[in-house]
Amino acid sequence: MRVGNLSNRLTLFAGHGAIDVEEMSGGRFGADPQAVYDRWDEFTEWVVSSRHTADAVPYSVEDLGAPAPRPRQVFAIGANYRAHAAEGDFPVPENPMVFTKWSSSFTGPVGQIVLPGATVDWEAELVVVIGKRARTIPAGRGWAYVAGLTAGQDVTERTVQLRDGNPQFSPSKSFPGFSPSGPWLVTLDEFVDPADLGISCSVNGREMQKARTSELLFSVPVLVEELSRLVTLEPGDVIFTGTPAGVGFNRKPPLYLAAGDILVTEIEGIGQMRHRFVSA
């Protein structure tokens, strides 16, 4: 199933069309794309048991929003690919390095992002949405707490991140528009192997990052274990799982996003996001 956010309404995507969930369900499920995660099992059972593909209607990708637009909690993981830790001269962490991206930075999979500075960088990431409350869950059961997967970018202002010698991960990664996700949430049954997906991004058609999610140092189920040992994960919570090698600030010379640049982010089996950067 592909489910997401079209003009702030919960929507199923089938073929090249969209199906409004509130309309199709006769009001059983509301229009709020975030609220559905609190009834995730009931919702997925309804989708499986209903016949709805004939009613899919055309839509515009500009109207897509974040699949989980207002999570209670957002987690992001640093240095979660060995090659990215190496390029940034970070030690390979023994435990997940966790920070947050405040949800005011969320945006959809297509559109413009304002550059707040001259050192804005890309970070293509696999994004997880939680489908069930999770507390002290072993990794062996971790996938059962995942509603689905989507693509994301952990856009970062590097000067803010590194100024004063004290890393400021969350502020540097939470400017408006700095946390796009989409184009929709894909449930795990849609993947041959949800733990091994190609992930890539390009700037103006030049490939910058290319990896597989099987290279994650802390896999999705291990992140569910580690995070649920620290906090209670709530339905609809979002996890940005970390970025592979190939970000701009480790290049020689460093390369940053400029006004007019087009950033395309893609994950195999999920789809593509496309953002244009503009000056403030």
Contact stretch for Zn ion (CB under 5 A) within 87-95, 152-160, 194-202, 223-231 = 152-160
* Bridge partners of residue 111, in order along the sequence: 275
In the bound state with Zn ion, the residue whose beta carbon lies nearer, of 36 and 66, is: 66
Closest CA to 272 of 154, 171, 136, 124: 124
Q: Contact region for Zn ion (CB under 5 A) — 27-35, 118-126, 220-228, 272-280?
A: 118-126
Q: Which residue is nearest to Zn ion (CB)?
A: 154
Q: Is the Cβ of residue 123 or residue 157 nearer to Zn ion in the bound state?
A: 123
Choose among 216, 233, 268: nearest CA to 68: 233
Cβ-based nearer residue to Zn ion, 187 or 243: 243
For residues 21 and 77, which CB has a smaller minimum distance to Zn ion in the complex? 77
Beta strands per DSSP E along the chain: 2-6, 9-14, 17-20, 64-65, 74-78, 97-99, 106-107, 110-115, 120-121, 124-130, 146-153, 156-157, 179-186, 198-203, 206-212, 238-240, 262-267, 271-279
- In the complex, least distance from residue 154 CB atom to Zn ion, rounded to whole angstroms: 3
Nearer to Zn ion, 13 or 81 (CB): 81
* Choice between 24 and 270, CB closer to Zn ion: 270
- Of 121, 154, 226, 266, the one binding Zn ion by CB under 5 A: 154
Total of chain residues touching Zn ion, rule CB under 5 A:
3
Output the CA–CA distances (angstroms, integers) from residue 110 to 66, 75, 114, 265, 267, in the order listed: 10, 22, 13, 10, 15
- Among residues 29, 96, 123, 208, the one that binds Zn ion under rule CB under 5 A: 123
The DSSP secondary structure of 123-188, one letter per residue, reads -EEEEEEE-S-BSS--GGGGGGGEEEEEEEE--EEHHHHHGGGS--HHHHT-STT-EEEEEEEE-G
Task: Give residues 86-105 in contact with Zn ion (rule: CB under 5 A).
Answer: none
* Site stretch for Zn ion (CB under 5 A), options 154-162, 163-171, 219-227, 269-277: 154-162
Site string for Zn ion, 207-246 (x = CB under 5 A): ------------------------------------x---
Q: Give the residues lining the site for Zn ion (CB under 5 A).
A: 123, 154, 243
